[in-house]
Amino acid sequence: MTDQSDFLEVTLDRIHSALASERLSDALSILLDLHPADQAEIFNLLEEAERDLLFSHLDIPATADLLEELEDEEVLEAVESLPTDRLADVLDEMEPDEAADLLGDLPSTQVTEVLAQMEDRDEVLPLLGYPDETAGGLMTTWYIALRRQTTSTQAIDFLRQVSPETEVPYYLYVVDREKRLIGVVGLRELIVASPETTMESIMDPDVIHVTVGTDQEEVARIMARYDLANVPVVSDQHRMLGVITHDDLVDVLEEEATEDILRLGGIETGPLIDKPYWSQRIYDIVRSRFVWLLILFVAETFTGTVLRHYESELQTVVALSFFIPLLIGTGGNAGSQTVATVIRALALREVRSKDFLRVWWREVRVGILLGGLIGITGYFRSMLWGVDSQMAFTVGLTLAVVCTWATSVASLVPIAAHAIRIDPTIISGPLMTTLIDGTGLILYFSLAAFVLPQLK
């Protein structure tokens, strides 16, 4: 069976071939037979002229489906050539939250013109005022709301009438006259209920919800914790405003994971966060990496300063230099492991700022055990290199001390950053490795001066 990547590659070749022989209808047919997510991937792999040609011949529903799957930057490029009236029709076809996201990226003058021609602008307008990374920016206004005295028969008839096409109503929300959220009914409860059963008698009044200003990462955490397909969004007065669906949760988790991975590598996320690798401009890549690379370069001069300070020791015992990469590499790796563990615990709220002493003591014990094992290994490895036992002992002891030192420091840096409301991923990765490099060398030379008789 051909895997997905092979299938897409074959499909791309078929579209290329159809367009090359001016069979536009065949190319469109091949594209439209795909799932919208696969359409978006194929669309990004086409040449710009091919994309423009196909996009201009898609009907309104197909255009809306494709735009909902593309990244923000790609959407803006795709709609540049669309006339205002056609763009308005496409936005009417899109889900309100997706339409609001697109409008939020357009120039204000163009937004005014498009909104004036939209039929469903009342569904989109309330969403435009919320920041993208909040519950308000994620929610859609497409949801099913019922009154408490509605019977199960009436609810099912209503569902048949509205026939929701894109948002599956996993949950039906019960509201009062003021649109305040008072309960939730699952589809299963609705279907098995007797015909005259009211929503009030089968609803769950303890509704897990978020407020409109809740950060998207917190929303994702709540939905994952309680295994929710949807989560309702309410105002400060508890009025029902919208719903965040599971597909939005996946997008948030992907975005947050991408952001954390880039920051752990010392890369600014702004220009790259929403772009696939091949869509990233060289200028943006350089700009995103340069600042942190420069900071780390300056920080690494600390390591050079330490080496210059101990220049005489290196000249006296040349073998000291053989083990420098081994020592600073081991310390940096041990620190990185601890940083990754603590950041994960902070993200999952398994660890809080007040737990810093417990975390520190736990990681110190881990560092002592790891350092002891690595130190013993380092001692015998050094002996195999032909150095004397005192030098081998110095290397083994330094490895043990550096591992303990690295894990203890690395356990506190993310917690300290979190306590002062700085994203731990920004400062806890490469910067931690750089810090351990310099301090590890100081420990190494200090222990060597204490152990080796020729340095005393």
Interval 1-19: pLDDT, tens: 446 667 778 888 888 888 8
Asked if domains 4-135 and 281-455 share a fold, the reply is no
pLDDT at 275 over 60: no
CATH number of 145-245: 3.10.580.10
152, 140, 119, 83: CA torsion to nearest 10: -150
- Please write the tens of the pLDDT for every residue from 182-224: 999 888 888 888 888 898 899 989 889 999 888 888 888 888 7
Average pLDDT over every residue of 418-446? 75
Measuring CA to CA, how many Å separate 145 from each of 21, 132, 142, 184, 321? 52, 25, 10, 9, 72
Q: SS3 for 230?
A: strand
Percentage of the chain exceeding pLDDT 70: 80
pLDDT band at 373 (very low <50, low <70, confident <90, very high): very high
Percentage of the chain exceeding pLDDT 90: 6
Strand (E) or helix (H) holding 303:
helix 282-309
Q: SS3 for 30?
A: helix
Phi, psi of 134 (to 5 degrees): -120, 170
**pLDDT computed for residue 401 by the predictor:** 92
Of 337, 355, 365, 358, residue with least CA distance to 432:
337
104-108, 218-222, 280-284, range with the lowest pLDDT: 280-284
**Beta strands at 240-245 and 230-234: parallel, antiparallel or unpaired:** antiparallel
Average pLDDT over every residue of 250-262? 64
* CB atoms near residue 219 (< 10 Å): 23
197-211, 273-287, 361-375, range with the lowest pLDDT: 273-287
**pLDDT computed for residue 1 by the predictor:** 42
Q: Which CATH architecture is the domain 4-135 placed in?
A: Alpha Horseshoe (1.25)
**pLDDT computed for residue 442 by the predictor:** 84
Instruction: Measure the CA–CA gap between 329 and 327, rounded to whole angstroms.
Output: 5
Average pLDDT over every residue of 403-428? 81
- Please write the tens of the pLDDT for every residue from 308-320: 676 676 666 677 7
pLDDT at 143 over 70: yes
pLDDT band at 455 (very low <50, low <70, confident <90, very high): low
**CATH C-level class of 281-455:** mainly alpha
Q: Which of 67-71, 231-235, 413-417 has the highest mean pLDDT?
A: 231-235
> Can you give the C-alpha Rg of the chain in angstroms?
30
pLDDT at 267 over 60: no
* CB atoms near residue 19 (< 10 Å): 20
| Contact indicator for 143, 232 with CB cutoff of 8 Å | yes
Q: Domain map of the chain by residue range?
A: 4-135, 145-245, 281-455
**pLDDT computed for residue 361 by the predictor:** 92
| Contact indicator for 130, 181 with CB cutoff of 8 Å | no
What average pLDDT does the structure give for the chain? Answer: 80
Measuring CA to CA, how many Å separate 360 from each of 271, 348, 398, 410, 413? 36, 18, 20, 9, 10
Strand (E) or helix (H) holding 346:
helix 324-347
pLDDT band at 229 (very low <50, low <70, confident <90, very high): confident
Instruction: Measure the CA–CA gap between 254 and 269, rounded to whole angstroms.
Output: 13
Q: SS3 for 418?
A: helix
Average pLDDT over every residue of 381-388? 84
